[in-house]
Amino acid sequence: MNTKSPMAPEKFPDMPPIPGVRLASAACGVRYKGRRDVLLAELEHGTTAAGVFTLSKCPSAPVDWCRKALKGGQARALIVNSGNANAFTGRVGAEAVEQTVEAVAERLPCRPSMVYAASTGVIGEPLPYQRITDNLGALYESLSPAAWSEAAEAIATTDTYTKGVSRKARIGTVDVTINGIAKGSGMIAPNMGTMLVFLFTDAKLPSEILQPMLGDAVNRSFNSITVDSDTSTSDTVLLFATGKGAEHLAPASADDPLLDDFRAKLHEATLDLAHQIVRDGEGASKFVAIRVEGAEDDGAAKTIAFAIANSPLVKTAIAGEDANWGRIVMAVGKSGEKADRDLLGIRIGGVLVAANGCAVADFDEAPVAEHMKGRDIDIAVDLGIGTGSATVWTCDLTHAYIDINADYRT
């Protein structure tokens, strides 16, 4: 792995086993030699699934596959490789997925439509899937309920650290567990595409309840982060529920108050992983939270927050530790959403720097300058015209981003 991001967590979290989930990973040489690059997760009978995928009009072959598989809502296995994204690979790409999932299905055995697949790595090169299928026997033999850290390692590409999360949630009087692993270091990394997130729980929840809960959690986490505004061909978030934990009451719907804590903990888990991805953003030296309030509606607030978060001028200013609120005004103005220059208020590190259409006279620059020197930057914008709000998270744009992405082949 590359030099660890200065914003990496101190250590990989403790992740307890999830009843009904066993994991195995191996170095199969898909692209690179001598590093884990394939993950197999075996899921017990009765496991349900939910998924959210890239909105790219040029999705990878495994994304096409997962969309189809998810219609059944059932899952028995997950197979993931890093090193090759199997994206823009035409008919041979689709065949590579089919061959892989059929081999996994035969081994378990189960129907191929219960096997989910994901790939991350170079775009446009045929996936040498035999390197995966040749190793399925050994992977199957080494399945273990404890191998979470190795699983996170196997799906990483340009990540500078492995990403995991674990939360306990209560359903009625019963404790269930939610575990998740993720990879990603740019919305798409240099040729090495993709954000992949896999979540597992031992709760017993049908697919039609899982799916809206996952969709909502993703909107407020992975769909609220940006490193470089570039959307991968392969972004995949999958949630599997084995139903093999302690028995709990059956909720009637995704909105059932019985699921309040589960919903909250699922959101916490996805947000934790989303923040880990931003903190590992290519070349990032600062973690930036952008809160927009007072917008026309929540959608407008999110659009404005992303206009700020994706502005190269805002991002370079943050890299330069410059509290350049004029660029924030510029980004609000270009977002296309309703705004009134003369009602706009901007806070940096909690200090009001601009309001009523001009700079705040004689605001104290010292705490703002000090805030800009820190690792965690807070920007808050109040549009002053409505009740819409949103928060998004991003990182700064540094020389290291250019190094990683322009000098990739040299």
Considering only residues 145-184, where is the footprint of a second copy by CB under 8 A? Answer: none
Exactly one of 6, 16, 72, 90 binds a second copy (CB under 8 A); that residue is 90
Tell me which residues are annotated as active site: 194
Binding segment toward a second copy, per CB under 8 A, in 8-16, 185-193, 253-261, 267-275: 185-193
358: its two tokens: 């001009």
Least separation in angstroms between CB 153 and a second copy: 24
Q: How far is the CB of 185 from a second copy (least distance, A)?
A: 12
The order of strands in the sheet holding 77-84 is: 21-26, 38-43, 77-84, 115-122
Contacts of a second copy in 216-275 (CB under 8 A): 228-233
Convert residues 15-44 into a mask of x (bound to a second copy by CB under 8 A) and - (unbound): ------------------------------
State the DSSP code for 27.
Answer: -
Q: Which two tokens stand for residue 242?
A: 């084995």
Under rule CB under 8 A, which residues in 342-361 are in contact with a second copy?
A: 342, 344, 354, 356-359
- Cα-flanking dihedrals φ and ψ of residue 200, to 5°? -135, 140
Which one among 249, 341, 375, 387 touches a second copy, defined by CB under 8 A? 341
Stretch that binds a second copy, among 1-9, 76-84, 104-112, 309-317 (CB under 8 A): 309-317
Q: How many CB atoms lie within 10 A of CB 255?
A: 13
Identify which of 95, 40, 39 has the alpha carbon closest to the alpha carbon of residue 64: 95
Per the rule left: phi > 0, alpha: psi between -120 and 50, beta: everything else, 348 is beta
Phi-psi region of 246 (alpha: psi -120 to 50; beta: other; left: phi over 0): beta
Q: Is the peptide bond before 109 cis (omega within 30 degrees of 0)?
A: yes
Confirm or reject binding of residue 89 to a second copy (CB under 8 A): yes
Residue 121 in contact with residue 83, Cβ under 8 Å? yes
Of the residues 40, 50, 331, 368, which one makes contact with a second copy according to CB under 8 A: 331
- The single residue among 26, 188, 274, 379 that binds a second copy, judged by CB under 8 A, is 188
Query: Shortest Cβ distance from residue 324 to a second copy (Å)?
Result: 7
350: left (phi over 0), alpha (psi -120 to 50) or beta: left
Interface region with a second copy, contact rule CB under 8 A, candidates 142-150, 157-165, 252-260, 328-336: 328-336
| Stretch in the footprint of a second copy (CB under 8 A) among 7-15, 25-33, 49-57, 141-149 | 49-57
